[in-house]
Structure 1
Amino acid sequence: IGVLRSSSLIIDTANDDLLKVWGKTNEIIGKPIATILIHENELDTLDTIRKVFDSGKGFTAQDIAVEIVHLEETKQCYLNVTYHPILDQYGKTEQILLLVIDVTQQRELSLQKDDFISIASHELKTPITSVRASLQLLDRMKDSPNSPMIPKLIDQANRSIIRINTLVDDLLNVGRLSGGQLQLSKSTFKVSELLENCCSHVRAIAKHQLIFKGDDSIAVFADEHRIDQVVLNLVNNAVKYAPNSKEIYLNLEKYDGYAKVSVKDFGPGIEPDQLAHLFGRYYRADYQGAQYSGLGLGLYICAEIIRKHGGEIGVDSTLGEGSTFWFKLPI
């Protein structure tokens, strides 16, 4: 926030946030704004302020790109700037109130949503195209019911339908989370039994060796279906992103009044600058330069489910050594 006065557009006041945007100190107070808007790309801003002063009509500029230097680090931000004239009793402009709002985060979220729509369209189209191709081939073979290709085509179509169902479930879960409509159906169950069931399911479809270690006696009061969903997502991620890790460990322990579940792989690990974003909505990590299929919703859904249980979720990773995803539930 700042205030300009008189036709000379003297900087009367400017708070710390505005000074940061300008890259100045409070030494500029009392000086014309023309002394700081001197670059070619800032001259249009100066003309806009003058027009607001002369006309007495306010103006808002949106998504203005600026580079802000803070602690010797330059960061590009996007701002909405409103110039609001303050009139005297005769209707002439006395001052201009500057209101600056940082919309960088909202803009990034909007871009992420645009990317997500594009990704979702692609992710859904791929299995739908596969189902369509399988059905077309089956239609051509209806007069040859004993063809060895038929079971393979049916299996391919089934796998594609499972993929579509998974994607739709993710979309529905995100919608419920966003609207606060994800209901938990809690009961008391042994976590070890849930992990063993998960292990048997994944062992049946993967080449990895899943090894369970931990305290068999730990029980929690939680939504078993939702916690199973979280564990399956973490294990499936380990299978997907660490294909050369022959062993995946599931560990269960008591930790400061919580049941802590860890899923450890020995894959390539995750870049340190990606760790803070992994549980964000729409975020898809780049593993060793490769983008994998998916909507970027799985870990976000896991995080929200655990938070709704009053728990915590996180990840520890070392490049070249692997990753450990973990979550904690109150006991």
Structure 2
Amino acid sequence: MSKQQRLNTNQLLDVLALSKNATAIYTTDDIIIEAANDAMIAFWGKDRNIIGLPLEVAVPELKDQPFIGMLKNVLNTGVTDAGEGIAAELLIDGELQTSYYDYEYRAIKNDAGETYCIMHTAADVTERVIGQKAIAKAREQEEALESEQALNEELAAANEELSAINEELKQTQHSLNKLNAELESRVAARTRELTESEARLRYMLADAPVAIAVFTGRELIIEAANKKVLETWGKTAEVIGKPLQLAIPELVGQDFLQILDDVFTSGVAFYGNEVKALLEQNGIIEEVYSNFVYHPLKDVEGRTTSIMLAANIVTEQVKARKAVEANEKRFRFMLNAIPQQVWTATPEGLLDYVNQVVRDDFGGSTTEIVGNGWQQYIHPDDLPKALNTWVEALQTGKEYVIEFRLLFSDGMYRWHLARALPLIEDGQIKLWLGTNTNIDLQKSNEQKKDEFLSIASHELKTPLTSIKAFNQLMLRTKDAEKLESFVKKSSDHILRLEKLIGDLLDVTKINSGKMDYSMEPFSFKRMLTDSIESVQHISHQHQIVLQNTIDITYIGDHYRLEQVLNNFLTNAIKYSPNGEKVFVDSKIENNNVIVSVQDFGIGIAQKDLDHLFDRYYRVDNTAMRFEGLGLGLFISSEILKGHNGRFWIESEEGIGSTFYFQLPLPN
């Protein structure tokens, strides 16, 4: 405890209880009067308004006297200063008078040995000092008389002086008798005053709002206990006079008895903060929390004779805080368990909490994310609208709803739907609770759907327009040769339209999980040759070359696997407009059938290879040059998965591509 620290009520009561004379308590380097009893106030010739003032302000006539310096020395050194018959000039009833006092400036220390206050006790011994001085003077005169008697020539004068001294001694004796009577009267009055003061103190302690008790001896006999401590213990005044462990048996096995024994042995106070005790109240063991001190009370020789307990019961505060902490912990757990981004903001709109999902998505701590604010993560194109909508919600107290893109730790922006509602209590917004729901997949699906509808409408419209045109030409022509040509071309467009519709139906089946497979044995060689022949009929520019063929019977869906091969072949022809050949190869390797289709066309960029088998995916630089829905490879990949097979692609832009698929053979 520093020298500047003020005393609490319990410490003042404790210190004042030790005083037997005129007493005052001082603290800090300014020698603040913390407390003074009536006797000390009377010595100073002041009233109680001086309590709380520095001593040199309260009693200004002491300023040029040594006492304030002496007090500061005690405070700084911790060494008690005491003396007898010291002279002090005090202003009494408007007149500066000299009085004499026995005094003690005692340094009061804490457990760390630091002086935290000074206790000043004093007794007015003016009459005694005056008497002693008179006696001393008489003795001096007597000694002078004896010296004079040695001188014969001065005998007569010495006799006369001796008579005078005797008369003076009689007067001094009379004064001393009078002084003794006055002293006895003062002692009696002081005794009555102390008794009344002690009675008042006991009355105050009995009704004090803090729990106070005194335990005497190593047996810890309950010497005194006020109403508050008895109420806390769940006991009555009958426990006074009993050993603590017998009066409150539930303390056995807890730490308190051992701590008290240690305080008794060491003479060092023990301070406890929010310590839990199990006490029986109304027949039930209850948890009681308190801030308390076990303060040793010592005799004049410094031996501990008793221990005073002073405790402030904080059970309700501790339980309320623990309940709040538990509720907050459960609340945080629930927020972290939600698979959405959850956040809270102050009534002014400042972000102050984010859950674990936000921290994982953004790759930062709560402190970092809250410090950055949403501006760090919302896409710059979405930020102005988001901020304007947020300001409007703050001003109106209405729900905040908006969609924006958030920057994730992987550097990608993802669409989220943000919603926030204010928590309103007593008509005031206490906080905002918000969620950000990831809608990136829905946004992506919507975009793909829009793209698909655009592509599908375009692709379906093209053959329909051609069919309509050829039908009109067929109605107008009379030339049989032209009519046959128009019918063939119209038929080709009908086949193309049929393929587009078939792809759409297959995707619908895949999405609904109703893609059926007819697993039957068939000639794999025949399937290869038939597929090549079928595609070759409609492609006159390219030569499809079957380099190697395997002659095995394979169990699978002949039609679906032929659909895969046809798709690979038509893609090879479509994306090699300047090529002349397409090579088909087949082999058995590690108990797997592997088929490859190689073209010498435009090739595929590395970044697009992993997406070619995605639904509706079309390489950007080919989408406008080549017709199709972007469904063929997706359907092929699903068919291969249905046969426990797989696929891969090797390609180089400007050189060409090789599409592979693999089918397992039974062991």
Q: TM-score range by the shorter chain?
A: 0.7 to 0.9
Residue 326 (1) aligns with residue 660 (2): yes
> 1:7-43, CA deviations, whole angstroms, 9 ceiling, x for partnerless residues?
2445443246535877865334675959969999746
Residue 179 (1) aligns with residue 512 (2): yes
Q: 1:133 aligns with which of 469, 478, 487?
A: 469
Q: 1:188 aligns with which of 521, 526, 550?
A: 521
2:531 aligns with 198
Distance verdict in 2 for CA 1:47–1:209, change over 3 Å: closer
What is the 5 A alignment of 1:211-290? 211-214=545-548, 216-287=550-621
Worse-superposed segment, 289-298 or 266-275: 289-298
Shift of 1:117: 1.2
Give distance in 2, aligned partners of 1:6 and 1:228: 64
Give distance in 1, aligned partners of 2:402 and 2:620: 35
Does the residue aligned with 1:292 lie in a helix, a strand or coil?
A: coil
Distance verdict in 2 for CA 1:291–1:17, change over 3 Å: farther
Shift of 1:181: 1.5
Shift of 1:301: 1.0
1:99 aligns with 435
Give distance in 1, aligned partners of 2:443 and 2:392: 28
Give distance in 2, aligned partners of 1:40 and 1:279: 32
What is the 5 A alignment of 1:1-331? 1-15=341-355, 18=358, 25-28=365-368, 42=383, 45-46=386-387, 48-49=389-390, 52=393, 57-62=398-403, 64-66=404-406, 68=407, 70=409, 73=411, 75-86=412-423, 93-141=429-477, 144=478, 146-206=479-539, 207-214=541-548, 216-287=550-621, 291-331=625-665
Give, as a single letter, the amino acid of the residue that structure 1 aligns with 2:641.
R
Does the residue aligned with 2:517 lie in a helix, a strand or coil?
A: coil
Shift of 1:189: 2.2
> 1:274-313, CA deviations, whole angstroms, 9 ceiling, x for partnerless residues?
2122111111224568531111111111111111222212
Give distance in 2, aligned partners of 1:123 and 1:193: 32
Conserved 8 A contact 1:37-1:46: no
TM-score, normalization by structure 2: 0.44
> 1:250-278, CA deviations, whole angstroms, 9 ceiling, x for partnerless residues?
22223444322211112221112221221
- Greater relative CO, 1 or 2 (CA 8 Å, sep 6+): 1
Does the residue aligned with 1:291 lie in a helix, a strand or coil?
A: coil
Shift of 1:82: 1.5
> 1:163-203, CA deviations, whole angstroms, 9 ceiling, x for partnerless residues?
11111111111111111111111112232221111112222
Shift of 1:215: 5.4
Paired residues, what number?
323
Conserved 8 A contact 1:11-1:28: no
Distance verdict in 2 for CA 1:104–1:5, change over 3 Å: closer
Distance verdict in 2 for CA 1:153–1:276, change over 3 Å: same
Conserved 8 A contact 1:218-1:259: no
Give distance in 1, aligned partners of 2:530 and 2:494: 23
> 1:93-117, CA deviations, whole angstroms, 9 ceiling, x for partnerless residues?
4332321123233212212211221
Give, as a single letter, the amino acid of the residue that structure 1 aligns with 2:417.
N
Conserved 8 A contact 1:190-1:216: no
Does the residue aligned with 1:169 lie in a helix, a strand or coil?
A: helix
| RMSD (Å), alpha carbons | 3.2
Unaligned runs of 5+ in 2: 1-340
Conserved 8 A contact 1:267-1:322: yes
Distance verdict in 2 for CA 1:289–1:123, change over 3 Å: closer
Give distance in 2, aligned partners of 1:238 and 1:34: 49
Give, as a single letter, the amino acid of the residue that structure 2 aligns with 1:162.
L
Percent identity at matched positions? Answer: 30
Conserved 8 A contact 2:347-2:432: no
Does the residue aligned with 2:431 lie in a helix, a strand or coil?
A: strand
